[in-house]
Structure 1
Amino acid sequence: MLKLVVLISGSGSNLRALLEATSDESFPAQIVAVGADNEASGLAHAREFGVPTFVVSPADYANRVSWGEALIAEVSSYAPDLVVCAGFMRILPANVVGAFSPNLINMHPALLPLYPGAHAVRDALADGATVTGATVHIVDEGVDTGPVIEQLEVAINADDTEETLHERIKIVERELIVHTVRNIAHAHVNLQELARS
């Protein structure tokens, strides 16, 4: 059974999908804790499912390194096999990446390496792209530059706004993150090998 700590910053729609999947006893992973960088509304999903939560806010620390050390300590206390960034909107400091990667994955609303960063959906529309999607990748020290694990495409409609497109991507993200965690748990994906390739 793969033990997960999930990190969020917002409403936690991907977290919700994982909580629902892991509540099925046949699913090969369990969420042992959910963490956030603020009092995110998505923490309510974890509480609903009886999963412990924690908040490590950067505002409480002198710098990114000390915030990272506090985050490492909190996450490590749950001894996870995998840390999942599911709508976690902060770039993790190098000490956090060093502590958990390659068993540290992120969900991103674009087909990486296209459109990295915080405005992926807006950037795809501004670029006139006809296709975008969702990517799960290993977190490294860059911004959305780690090895790609899995991707799913989403067509961009001529009348799409940032909001309508992002909503369709979120549907795909929920499917993709559950599928990817299942594959990692079943050893269909080897994160160590992928990180070395």
Structure 2
Amino acid sequence: MKRRVAILISGRGSNMAALIEAASASDFPAEIVVVISNRADAGGLERAKAGGIPTVVIESKPFGKDRAAFEAVLQAALDQHGVELICLGGFMRLFTAEFVQRWFGRMLNIHPSLLPSFPGLDPQGQALRAGVKISGATVHFVIPETDAGPILMQGAVAVADDDTAETLAERILKVEHRIYPDALRLLASGRARLEGDICKKSANANPDGTLISPTAG
């Protein structure tokens, strides 16, 4: 039985599109049953509709700072579609601790850095200012703290000397599109488990994988 997944977006939904494409495969252990946006003008809504995915708009602006009221409407939509897992895809709305706890272990987010390094805004710029040689993306379980939570999967890219925040972000985005579907596959298939603050996998798909940058040759 495929796990029922909602994707929450606020913008263009590029990671959403990657998840929808992956879930279209017959052997993928999850199905995208709804895309929910807190903005009616989110570009990802049309992309979802084009992929045959039902969409729901719950404008967050009228709720102001009343997160609980917004989440009550959101939860009703999730219940209506029988959602079991949530993937955040550029969803620009903070949750209450109560909502996060309700979905703990069942809600994923992706961030364009190798967490716990460079959380928050402008992670690519943070990475360049720190002079790191490797950056990347992280899929993690959502907890009340922003860009934190047990790490499910990471993907890395080398940082070039002439990189800008924009060029680095472009390369990291390609990694995001690769690892987010793989992370959802792990979770939906039951091959990822939480042990306290650590996420462990029943099998390591790439036990000998290394990335060293820059090379000495």
With the shorter chain as reference, the TM-score category is over 0.9
Partner of 2:57: 55
Aligned match of 1:138 in 137, 141, 158?
141
| CA shift digits 1:84-137 (9 cap, x unpaired) | 011212222223212212201101100110011132112111222211110000
Aligned equivalents of 1:183 and 1:7: distance in 2? 19
Question: Between Structure 1 and Structure 2, how many residues are aligned?
Answer: 195
Return 5+ residue gaps in structure 1 as ranges. Answer: none
Correspondence 1:96 to 2:93: no
Q: Which residue of 1 aligns with 2:46?
A: 44
Question: Would you say 1:164 and 2:167 are equivalent positions?
Answer: yes
* Partner of residue 10, structure 2: 9
Secondary structure of the 1:157 match is: coil
Q: Is the 8 A contact 1:89 1:118 kept in 2?
A: no
Q: Which runs of 5+ in 2 are unaligned?
A: 199-217
The within-5 A match list for 1:57-72 is 57-62=59-64, 63-72=66-75
CA contact (8 A) 1:106 1:137 kept: yes
Task: Please name the residue that 1:155 is paired with.
Answer: 158
The 1:47/1:128 distance shift into structure 2, 3 A limit, reads same
Q: 1:86 is matched with which residue: 89, 101, 115?
A: 89
Q: Which residue of 1 aligns with 2:211?
A: none
Distance 1:119 1:66 in 2: 30
Distance 1:99 1:142 in 2: 15
1:20 aligned residue = 21
Q: Deviations over 1:49-94 (max 9, x none)?
A: 1111112222121412212222222222212121001121222222
Amino acid at match of 2:176: E
Tell me how far apart the structure 2 counterparts of residues 146 and 107 of structure 1 sit (CA, whole Å): 11
Q: TM-score scaled by structure 2?
A: 0.85
- Confirm whether residue 110 of structure 1 aligns to residue 113 of structure 2: yes
Structure-1 residue corresponding to 2:204 = none
Q: Which amino acid aligns with 2:50?
A: E
- Equivalent-residue separation in structure 2 for 1:95 and 1:43 (angstroms): 27
The code of the aligned residue for 1:134 comes to: A
Q: Counting helix residues as a fraction of each chain, which structure ranks higher?
A: 1
Distance, in Å, in 2 between the alignment partners of 1:194 and 1:178 is 22
Q: Residue 126 of structure 2 is aligned with which of 123, 127, 147?
A: 123
Which of the pair has more CA radius of gyration? 2
> Per-residue deviation at 1:196?
5.4
**TM-score, L = length of structure 1:** 0.93
Does the 8 Å contact 1:110/1:133 carry over to 2? yes
Deviating more after overlay: 7-16 vs 122-131: 122-131
- CA RMSD across the alignment: 1.5
Asked if 1 retains the 8 angstrom alpha-carbon contact of 2:113 and 2:135, the reply is yes
- The Cα offsets for residues 19-70 of structure 1, whole Å up to 9 and x where unpaired, read as 1111122211100000112121011121011111112222121412212222
CA contact (8 A) 1:107 1:137 kept: yes
Higher mean alpha-carbon deviation, 140-149 vs 67-76, is at: 67-76
Give identity over the alignment, percent.
37
